[in-house]
């Protein structure tokens, strides 16, 4: 039912300081961002390494849904987002086990979500969502359209870069000898 953990969402009071820390010090690559005037918050997705992502969320005014969470802290893990291939089937399966859900929304074909309250998920707010991962990532960390594999030659060998079904890429460096063994293995497998 669950494809993977897509991201961990961090609620922060000082977005600029958090952004400088994750992007400037840890090297996170900024991706999609947005603002919800009704709930009075903004968000930004950031990629770390090949497959890891965080989301920074911050209030944009008084009355934000984050006010209670940030009342006695400067920031912290707000929720985790789990990706599913079919939001309706996931919701039905969870509710069949007697676990209540809330906040079901469909934002067109781009994003569908619901939540499980922390009291039903061992202290963690869980967001379950159906979406296409690459839609939320910076073009610099995703494969070109209709590309599943790239080969980059280096002085010592090569790097294979694969499109990951969860969005983004996975890179595998290989020495010249490893690459030659892989070529032989592929020839044998296709013979």
Domains by residue range for the chain, with CATH: 4-136 (3.10.180.10), 143-190 (no CATH)
Q: How many Cβ atoms are within 10 Å of 180's Cβ, its own excluded?
A: 12
Residue-by-residue DSSP string for 13-58: S-HHHHHIIIIIIT-PEEEEEEEETTTTEEEEEEEETTTEEEEEEE
Residue 117 pLDDT > 90: yes
Mean pLDDT of the chain: 94
Tell me what the mean pLDDT of segment 144-162 comes to.
92
Q: Which H helix or E strand runs over 184?
A: helix 176-190
pLDDT at 50 over 80: no
| pLDDT band with cut points at 50, 70 and 90 for residue 153 | very high
SS3 at position 114: strand
Which of 21-25, 52-56, 100-104, 164-168 is least confident?
164-168
Kindly list the strands in the beta sheet with 4-12, ordered across the sheet, starting from the edge strand earlier in the chain: 29-36, 41-48, 52-59, 4-12, 75-83, 125-130, 111-116, 102-107
**Confidence at residue 183, expressed as pLDDT on a 0 to 100 scale:** 93
At 92 the pLDDT is 97
User: What stretch of H or E contains 82?
Assistant: strand 75-83
More confident of the two residues 166 and 65: 65
pTM: 0.84
């Amino acid at each position: 039912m669950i494809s993977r953990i897509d991201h961990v969402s961090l609620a922060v009071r000082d977005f600029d300081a958090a952004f400088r820390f994750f992007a400037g010090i840890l090297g996170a690559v900024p991706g999609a961002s947005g603002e919800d005037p009704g709930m009075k918050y903004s968000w930004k997705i950031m990629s770390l390494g090949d497959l890891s992502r965080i989301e920074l969320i911050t209030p944009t005014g008084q009355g934000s849904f984050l006010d209670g969470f940030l009342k006695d802290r400067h920031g912290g893990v707000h929720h985790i987002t789990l990706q599913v291939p079919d939001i309706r089937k996931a919701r039905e399966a969870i509710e069949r086990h007697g676990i209540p859900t809330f906040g079901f929304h469909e934002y067109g074909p781009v994003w569908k979500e619901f939540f499980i309250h922390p009291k039903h998920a061992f202290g963690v707010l869980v967001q379950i969502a159906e979406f296409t991962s690459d839609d939320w990532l910076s073009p610099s960390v995703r494969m070109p359209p209709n590309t599943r594999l790239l080969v980059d030659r280096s002085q010592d060998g090569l790097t294979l870069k694969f499109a990951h079904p969860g969005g983004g890429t996975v890179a595998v460096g290989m020495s010249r000898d490893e690459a030659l063994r892989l070529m032989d293995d592929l020839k044998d497998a296709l013979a």
